[in-house]
Structure formats: structure tokens, C-alpha cells
Amino acid sequence: MARTISSRSRFTPRLELRPFRRRDLLSVLAAIDGSLPELEQWLPWAHPAYGRAEAMRFLRESGNAWTEGRAFDFAIRPRPDPGYHLGNISVWQTSQRERSGEIGYWIRSDATGTGIATEATARVTDVAFSELSLHRVTLRIAVGNRASERVAEKLGFTHEGLLREEVLVRGTWLDHTLWAMLEDEYPRRRDSYFEAGWLEGP
Ligand SMILES: CC(C)(COP(=O)(O)OP(=O)(O)OC[C@H]1O[C@@H](n2cnc3c(N)ncnc32)[C@H](O)[C@@H]1OP(=O)(O)O)[C@@H](O)C(=O)NCCC(=O)NCCS
């Protein structure tokens, strides 16, 4: 079985990142509801009829995946208002032998453009290298998704190439760009995350 990690909250200066709970259902649904036009463009699971049953399935599966070490989904919450759902961020291992993994995220549309994805991804990149001991961490970003590419650029991921027609979203094949960071590159990036104010401490 893959390794699991602590289910405690992780913090950034503005955010709490924590595993999902069943009682997050309504706050998650509210965040998705107002964000579907944007989410639908890039994420295969998002569609106009996304509702309670799918969200409940997600919450259940998320708990199982964490316990079994398959994937670690974090609810992103503002520290002063932990009942308010800002979005999701996940990290999961893609190869145990090579110690590689991937990060994915979305932010509710009325909270975008304020650096939340960058701050949350900085923290989860730390989880990937410091807690999961990964050697290589990737982001896969659909061509045209400039906001997400900016997140990768700001965090210092390296643009490695193009994955043609890698994902099917609402009947259309989307190309992905591949971005990666290696474990020996991370310590310098981490220093820059502290300087930028995306991480607390040290
Ligand atoms: C992509 C997404 C996660 C970004 O979240 P966010 O919290 O707004 O991200 P940040 O504020 O940390 O950074 C966004 C950056 O993109 C820039 N940006 C936003 N829209 C842009 C656009 N259309 N063109 C160019 N840059 C854009 C912002 O100005 C910011 O860059 P800056 O700090 O240099 O000004 C969010 O828009 C989202 O959830 N989109 C839908 C789902 C999705 O695409 N998920 C990612 C799949 S890989």
C-alpha cells in the first residue's frame, strides 16, 4: 500500500488546507455552483448538472483515498472563516518506484485573481517534497489556461512540453502542457516561497 500522511491541517499565511469531511457537502456545492462556467472549460468532472450525489461521492472517495494513501485532497479555507469553501487542491503519487506525483487544483470563481491557487500550491508542493518525499512533481495544464500557467510560472515549475489530446472535456480533446519540479530544485524554490509570503515561518 502507498504511504499516507497526517490528516492535520496545513496552514499558509492566509489559508487553512485540511482533509474533507462529510459535513463539507453544502459549502463545496455552493463553491462549485457559482464556478461551473469556468470549471467546465478545463476539468472533465465539472458539468452543468453537477450536484449533491456527485459531491457526496467525492467526499466519501476522498476520505478513502487519504486513508489508503492513494491521493490527498485538501479543502482550501480562509483562516478567518474556515466554513467558507475556496476550492480544492490535491496531490497524488503517479509512480511509487520513481517517487513521482502530481498536483491539481481549482478555486471558486469569485475568489480568483487574489493569489489563492499560488499560495495553496506552494504549501502542497511542500507536502509533496517534504512529507511524501517525492523526487518529481508535475502539473498538467490545458493549453489556453493562462491563469493556471501563471500559477506554475510563479512557483518556478519548469515547462517541459506538450501532451497532445490528453484529456476529453465536454466532447473536445484538449492538449496539456507539462510542468515539473525536481527534489533538488525545491529547496531554492521553497526559500522564494517564504520570501513571497506564500509560506509561513520558517
Ligand atoms: C486556474 C486557477 C486555479 C487560478 O486560481 P487563482 O487563485 O486565480 O490563481 P492566482 O491568483 O494564484 O494566480 C493567477 C494568475 O493568473 C493571472 N491570470 C488570470 N487570468 C488570466 C488570463 N486570462 N490571462 C493571463 N493571466 C491570467 C492572474 O493575473 C495571476 O497572475 P499574476 O499574479 O501574475 O497577476 C483558477 O482560475 C481556476 O480554478 N480555474 C478553473 C479550474 C482550473 O483551471 N484548474 C486548474 C486546472 S490545471
User: How high is the pLDDT of residue 2?
Assistant: 74
Please tell me the distance from the alpha carbon of residue 88 to that of residue 73, in angstroms, as a whole number.
7
Best of 150, 154, 174, 175 to mutate for ligand 1, by most ligand atoms within 8 A of CB? 150
Distance (angstroms) between ligand 1 centre and the Cα of 88 equals 14
CA distance 138 to 101: 6
Q: Is the CB of 179 under 6 A from ligand 1?
A: no
Q: What is the pLDDT along the chain (202 residues), one digit of tens a residue?
A: 578 999 999 999 999 999 999 999 999 999 999 999 999 999 999 999 999 999 999 999 999 999 999 999 999 999 999 999 999 999 999 999 999 999 999 999 999 999 999 999 999 999 999 999 999 999 999 999 999 999 999 999 999 999 999 999 999 999 999 999 999 999 999 999 999 999 997 6
C-beta of 38 in contact with ligand 1 (< 6 A): yes
98 Cβ contact partners less than 8 Å away, ≥ 6 residues apart: 135, 136
Q: What is the 3-state secondary structure (H, E, C) of the chain?
A: CCCCCCCCCEECCCEEEEECCHHHHHHHHHHHHCCHHHHHHHCCCCCCCCCHHHHHHHHHHHHHHHHHCCCEEEEEEECCCCCCCCEEEEEEEEECCCCEEEEEEEECHHHCCCCHHHHHHHHHHHHHHHHCCCCEEEEEEECCCHHHHHHHHHCCCEEEEEEEEEEEECCEEEEEEEEEEECCCHHHHHHHHHHHCCCCCC
pLDDT of residue 3: 84
Mutate to test the pocket of ligand 1, among 12, 76, 112 (most ligand atoms within 8 A of CB): 112
Nearest CA to ligand 1 atom 5: 117
Half-sphere exposure of 33 (CA within 13 A, CB side): 9
Ligand 1 pocket mutation pick from 91, 151, 167 by most atoms within 8 angstroms of CB: 151
Give 108 Cα–ligand 1 centroid separation in angstroms.
11
Per residue in 107-148, pLDDT (tens digit) is 999 999 999 999 999 999 999 999 999 999 999 999 999 999
Give the residue whose CA is nearest to atom 21 of ligand 1. 147
Residue 202: its pLDDT value, please? 63
* Bridge partners (DSSP) listed for residue 95: 100
Q: What is the pTM of this model?
A: 0.97
Residue nearest to atom 18 of ligand 1 (CA): 147
State whether the beta carbon of 145 lies less than 6 angstroms from ligand 1: yes
In the chain, the domains with their CATH numbers are 10-196 (3.40.630.30)
pLDDT of 1 reads 57
Q: Is 148 close to ligand 1, i.e. is its CB under 6 Å away?
A: yes
